[in-house]
Amino acid sequence: MTFGQKVIKFYKGVDISDPLPEGVSVMNPYQDRSCMTVCKKFYSKYYHDNSKRFIILGINPGRYGAGITGIPFTDPIKLETLLGIENDLPRKPELSAEFIHQMIKAFGGHEKFFSKFFINSVSPLGFMADGKNLNYYDTPSLKKALEPFIRKSLHELVRLGIRREVAYCLGEGENYKYIQKINSEERLFEEIVPLAHPRFIMQYRRKQMDQYIKDYLQKFAAIGDHHG
């Protein structure tokens, strides 16, 4: 199986069986046929090989990006205009996706980037409460309820063909702290490198976007120099 085929198999099986706190609903786009159609096109286009990749871990899918397309930090508009994958999914732009795709462009383009990196999330499925996005760590009860699912998912993600020298974490606060904790117990990666979260950059530091892109690229390059 190629890397991409393993990803699709993972998405088909990803599911939360543990009961969640009242009022919290799970976003699982992979149960939607249109989403799986574009996922298959995307992963066979950019991951049709057996190369190992470094993982970049976000928090969990949002309702305008991966919550619709199934592809982290890629909204339906960018999926078509930047990646050439036509779709009839709802035309909603995602703020974080804008930063990620600008960074990918600066890295050398999508083919080059996706041949080295795989983006996913600490929780591969997203959450909503009262019609709004919810992060897995937003309430202690949700975080606790999700821990078995998160541990299991991270092990499954690593088995797709992920390099274990380093994992990159999107978010320098809660997400980073949590990954550090899980990693110290599960020993999945030798090192976790934090990166500023795209949403934080786009909401509060938009004028310094180029500086943040440079920071991402320097951190990626440092590992390349280190591990070849």
Q: Which two tokens stand for residue 144?
A: 């606790």
Res 146: pLDDT? 97
Res 107: pLDDT? 98
**How distant is the alpha carbon of residue 129 from its chain centre?**
21
Res 142: pLDDT? 97
Element containing residue 189 per DSSP (H, E): none
Where does the pLDDT of residue 226 fall: very low under 50, low under 70, confident under 90, or very high at 90 and above?
low
Q: Is residue 20 part of a domain?
A: no
Which residues, 6 or more positions from 99, have their beta carbon under 8 angstroms from its beta carbon?
Answer: 198, 201, 202, 209, 212, 213
Res 224: pLDDT? 60
Q: Is residue 191 part of a domain?
A: yes
Structural domain including 80 reads 3-12+25-227
For the cut 60, the answer to whether the pLDDT of residue 227 exceeds it is no
Contact (Cβ atoms closer than 8 angstroms) between residue 166 and residue 189: yes
pLDDT per residue as tens digits for the range 36-65: 999 999 999 999 999 999 999 999 998 878
SS3 178: helix
- What percentage of the chain carries pLDDT values higher than 70? 98
Res 92: pLDDT? 86
Q: Is residue 45 part of a domain?
A: yes
CATH number at residue 158: 3.40.470.10
Res 175: pLDDT? 98
Res 68: pLDDT? 92
pLDDT per residue as tens digits for the range 191-205: 999 999 999 999 999
Q: Is residue 222 part of a domain?
A: yes
pLDDT per residue as tens digits for the range 75-89: 999 999 999 999 999
Question: What's the total number of domains in the chain?
Answer: 1
Helices then strands, counting H and E runs in the chain, come out as 10, 7
Q: Is residue 56 part of a domain?
A: yes
Q: Is residue 177 part of a domain?
A: yes
